Structure 1
Amino acid sequence: MRKKIVAGNWKMNKTADEAQALLSEIVNLIKEEASSATEVTVVLCPPSLYLTMAQQQVATVGNVSVGAQNCHEKASGAYTGEISAPMLKSIGIEYVILGHSERRQYFDESNTQLAEKVNSALENGLTPIFCCGESRDLRENGDYIGFVKDQITDSLFHLSPESFSKVVVAYEPIWAIGTGLTASSAQAQDMHFELRRHIAGQYGDEIAQETSILYGGSANAQNAAELFAQPDVDGGLIGGASLKAPDFITVVKAAQ
């Protein structure tokens, strides 16, 4: 049975006091829901400044982990402002988001560079949440399915079956991030199905069926239940809705 995951990507939001308050609210709401057993893994991905704060807050809560929003492909060196996978491992971080569309767009991250980041994350025991997705122009005018498959091929298919099985995939239609648009549940299912079939072609059906594929395009408290009900949607990578504790908990409950 595939792991259900809801990851909250806070992006570049919240001051320290605001982050502390949000973490406390999320943790308290999760504890209130503890009576209804859940198999959902919750991953909180605040800005790197707050990773240790987040770990302290979630330490007593089951099924809640902390993830970073990015890491550098090198283990160390003269890369001012960057954070490496060994650094994240050294403070006990378990997950790292890699290849988010904003990193690709604003920082020109390539499929080749992301392959190196994936390698570094796995070598250091981190679980990569690997993002892939297409622009609105590609969705309307191009081979968007082929484009997203190529992102996975170029950045992940060099991995051994054992290593690939440790990766979480997150499909994020770029045209549905921060635009108010959301892929319909049918559109999300169609792409998730195609990606799972693509993975099966490389690694076999057993690994493909065990790979968690999250939806990452403006999922929120209103649409999460319908999206997560699709057979190939295994949870979500949540942006804006992760900044409001009640909304985020609603999304988590929708994945149960």
Structure 2
Amino acid sequence: MQIFERFNLGHGFRKYFEIAPATNTALRNDVFRIRHEVYCEELKFEPERPDRLETDVYDPHSLHCLIRTANEPNHLVGCTRLVLANPDDPLAPLPFEQTCGHTLDRSIVDPLKLPRESIAEVSRLAVRAAYRRRKGDERAPVAISEEDFGTGDRPRFPYIPIGLYLGAVALAARSGIDTLFVLTEPRLASHFGKLGVDIRQIGGPVEHRGIRVPSMMHVPSIIKGMRFIVKPIWRVIQEEIERGFEKEAGGGKLSGK
């Protein structure tokens, strides 16, 4: 992690961005607008909607968060969601269970045998095109590559995608979720390893808007094993997520610092 030693990643994130839980209808609509722009209008993964809000059957039992620019809180950057088990039908499959049911290695983990209230899936990550600048990113809703971490001489950090993933972890931790599932590009495990996150592949690859593999992460282990240099950005994100829930509970307006 020497490439990050010159940075306080928490200060760096807070300088440029803020993250917030989508705790009310207006904020959730911001999330759905980002998703529509990326998934429907730009990438054509989903049909365009007259209201320009991309939603599906999982959203009513999901937690959502979004990243905005720090100086312009109304300027949207990206979003993600945490799909929880359906409280009305706990055994109903999560999205990855639908997509990867035939490739899951149930000798590693069988999601149906886990307490359903303790599992969730990170899903629908989306970053607006202006913040996906690298060649090749234009066909992916969010991406991380080796060059995002820079070199010893020119260190960098992928604040937006890592911020979204850490936002999902923060939502999971405060919701009592132990196990996170995610359907991602095969190379993601090596990038998470740079952060001290152990992500384990649990099945074979599938074609789902590109080649994807199902993986799992243990939430308490993510937090405990996080590399020292990454902890400042984790603390900032955890604080901002918690502050967002507190403001909503107190009737305050969720806007900026």
TM class by smaller structure: 0.3 to 0.5
More strand by share: 2
More helix by share: 1
